[in-house]
A and B are shown apart, each in its own frame.
Chain A
Amino acid sequence: MTDRSDEILRLDGIAVHFPVRGGLLHTLLRRARGVIRAVDGIDLTLRRGEVLALVGESGSGKTTTGRVVVKLTRQTAGRLTFDGNDISALWGTAALRAYRRRVQLIFQDPYETINPKQTIHDFVAEPLIVNHIGTPEEREAKVLAAIEAAGLRPATEFAFRFPHELSGGQRQRVVIAGALVMDPEVIVADEPVSMLDVSIRTELLRLMLDLRDERGLTYLFITHDLSLAWVIADRIAVMYLGRILEIGPAERVIRDPHNPYTAALVSVAPTTDPPSTGERATRTILVGETPDAAHIPAGCRFSPRCPYVFDRCRVEEPPLFDVGGGQSSACWLSEGGRSLPVLPRPEPAAGTATAGKPAVAPVPSAESA
Chain B
Amino acid sequence: MTAPTLTADRLRSERLRLRLRGWRDFARRFSRRREGIVGAAIIAFFAVLAVVPELIVGPLETATTASGTRLAAPDLTHVLGTDELGRDVLNLTVHGARISMVIGLLATLVTVSIGVFIGIVAGYIGGWIDTVLMRITDFFLVLPTFVLALILAPILREIIGTSSTIAGIRMTLIVIIIVIGVTSWASTARIVRSQTLSIKERAFVDRARVIGGGSGHIMTHHVLPNVVGLIVANTVLTFAGAILTETTLSFIGLGDPFQPSWGQLLDAARSSGAPGLGAWWYFMPPGVCIVLIVLAFTLVGGALDDVLNPRLRARR
Contact = CB atoms under 8 A, between A and B. Distances in A.
Interface stretch (A6-14, A114-122, A249-257): A114-122
B6 interface: yes
Given A113-B204, A114-B204, A164-B314, A100 B4 contact: no
A178 B213 CA distance: 13
Contacts, number: 97
Contacts of B17: 160
Secondary structure class of chain B's binding surface, majority of residues: helix
A254 B123 CA distance: 47
A109 B3 contact: no
A147 to B, nearest CB: 9
Contacts of A72: 206, 209-210
A153 B226 CA distance: 29
Contacts of A118: 204
Contacts of A112: 202-204
Given A117-B226, A156-B6, A148 B211 contact: no
B212 interface: yes
Interface in A13-61: none
Contacts of A131: 211-212
A111 B316 contact: yes
Contacts of B316: 111, 168, 195
A93 B4 contact: no
A309 interface: no
A160 B10 CA distance: 11
B217 interface: yes
Contact of A97 (B203, B204, B207, B212): B212
Contacts of A119: 18
Contacts of A156: 3-4, 6
Given A93-B214, A96-B212, A141-B5, A107 B225 contact: no
B211 A145 contact: no
B212 A130 contact: yes
A159 B18 CA distance: 11
A104 interface: yes
A195 B212 CA distance: 26
Contacts of B11: 121, 140
Interface string A77-97: 000000000000000010011
A279 to B, nearest CB: 32
A126 B6 contact: no
A112 B214 CA distance: 20
B6 A159 contact: yes
A307 B14 CA distance: 62
Contacts of A195: 316
B1 interface: yes
A105 interface: yes
B222 interface: yes
B5 to A, nearest CB: 7
Interface residues of A, number: 46
B311 interface: no
Interface residues of B, number: 31
A168 B5 CA distance: 27
A113 B1 contact: no
Contacts of B315: 111
A145 B212 contact: no
A140 B6 CA distance: 6
A100 B241 CA distance: 47
B210 A153 contact: no
Contacts of A154: 1, 3-4
A182 B211 contact: yes
Given A112-B203, A115-B225, A140-B5, A126 B211 contact: yes
A111 B314 contact: yes
Residue among B6, B208, B217, B315 with the highest chain A CB neighbour number at 10 A: B6
Interface of B: 1, 3-8, 11, 14, 17-18, 202-204, 206-214, 217, 221-222, 225-226, 314-316
26 contacts: A70-B210, A72-B210, A93-B214, A96-B212, A100-B210, A100-B211, A105-B210, A108-B203, A111-B314, A113-B207, A115-B226, A116-B226, A119-B18, A126-B221, A130-B208, A130-B212, A130-B214, A131-B211, A140-B6, A143-B6, A144-B5, A148-B1, A154-B4, A155-B3, A156-B3, A168-B316
Given A70-B210, A118-B204, 5 more contacts: A104-B210, A116-B226, A140-B11, A154-B4, A178-B211
Those 8 A-B pairs whose CB atoms lie nearest each other, nearest first: A127-B211, A112-B203, A140-B6, A115-B204, A100-B212, A117-B225, A93-B214, A113-B203
Interface of A: 70, 72, 93, 96-97, 100-101, 104-105, 107-109, 111-119, 121, 126-127, 130-131, 136-137, 140-141, 143-145, 148, 153-156, 159-160, 164, 168, 175, 178, 182, 195
